[in-house]
A = this chain, B = another copy of it.
């Protein structure tokens, strides 16, 4: 016999399976003689009994498994979010099923994936780019889910406070005397990209600086995108900005390359800062000043929220915005020229 079942334990302890079950589940309100309980525990121990999660799941309609859908696995932000979710899930006795959903997933595929859904108790969806329909389908199916890394109206969401993060970065640059601060934005279609752009505007205005639309260039989320955007920006404007604030670490790294090729010193001529801290920030030259964003905590908070919904039996639509982790000052930012 490969693995001991409950009835094996019950047989060895000479009790009914129901009694064995009650004892082994460790419920308090049960009336079982102390001697019987000990006998059952001893039998379970001797046989190395472990409850079969599949059978339990069938009976209780709870798999104690969380599904997590992410658009890309190689992105450090999602990797960190997975790590955070896994940490919380493990601590709360849940397993984590991960699913790679390309960004632009055909609807039918998405629904096919839903088929797998009754094997999870809830879904952590980092991938609902514009997928309101999928969200609705989930809600209709009564599957608890939380939108991760973006705010989905009407759904429980856990995301980063991009506005606050941009404000930290802008305030830092302004405190160094910068007033012409360009923004290498993310994708215009992305939730985070849009909010970072909005945050750039808001933070500048809060500092009494008029945001100049000419200083915005969309760079996407790659180094080459950052390099190209930086080049386009330099080619376009009369007076180059004294500082560049990139929406992501890798686009900032790309921008650094372009600036170097253009013969501009960083931070002598142009300061560069980015959102999202990470190991890469210390590998580039000069090392990048960043605003740390709590990606791991985002995954963890998402898992917490999801488990709360599952165990509470309540679907919540609360939105959690995680504040930035703070400025990580390195070598790429310095006083504005002529100050």
Q: Which among B86, B119, B282 is the interface contact of A73 at CB below 8 angstroms?
A: B86
B65→A97 contact, CB < 8 A: yes
Q: Is residue A210 within 8 Å, beta carbon to beta carbon, of the partner chain?
A: no
Cβ-neighbour of A119 out of B2, B95, B283, B285 (below 8 A):
B95
Question: Is A55 an interface residue when CB atoms closer than 8 A count as contact?
Answer: yes
Q: Is the CB of B86 within 8 A of A253?
A: no
Minimal beta-carbon separation of A145 from chain B (angstroms):
15
Give how many A residues have a beta carbon under 8 Å from the other chain's beta carbons. 45
Instruction: In the complex, identify which listed stretch (A46-54, A194-202, A235-243) lies at the interface while the others stay far away.
Output: A46-54
CB distance from A71 to the nearest CB of B (A): 11
| Contacting residues of chain A (69-128) with chain B, CB-CB under 8 angstroms | 73-74, 76, 79-80, 82-83, 86-87, 90, 95-100, 115-116, 118-119
Contact call A80/B74, Cβ cutoff below 8 A: yes
Oligomer: number of copies:
2
A57: chain B residues at CB < 8 Å are: 54
Whether the Cβ atoms of A54 and B284 lie closer than 8 Å is no
Closest-by-CB residue of B relative to A67 is: B95
Q: What's the minimum C-beta distance from A174 to chain B, rounded to whole angstroms?
A: 27
* Contacting residues, chain B, for A53 (C-beta < 8 A): 116, 118-119
Q: Is the CB of B118 within 8 A of A3?
A: yes
Q: Which of A216-255 contact B (CB under 8 A)?
A: 223, 250, 253-254
Q: How far is the CA of A65 from the CA of B99 in the complex (A)?
A: 12
Assess whether A100 is in contact with B90, with CB atoms less than 8 Å apart: yes
8 A/B residue pairs, CB under 8 Å, sorted by A: A54-B54, A54-B63, A73-B82, A76-B76, A86-B99, A95-B116, A257-B283, A285-B285
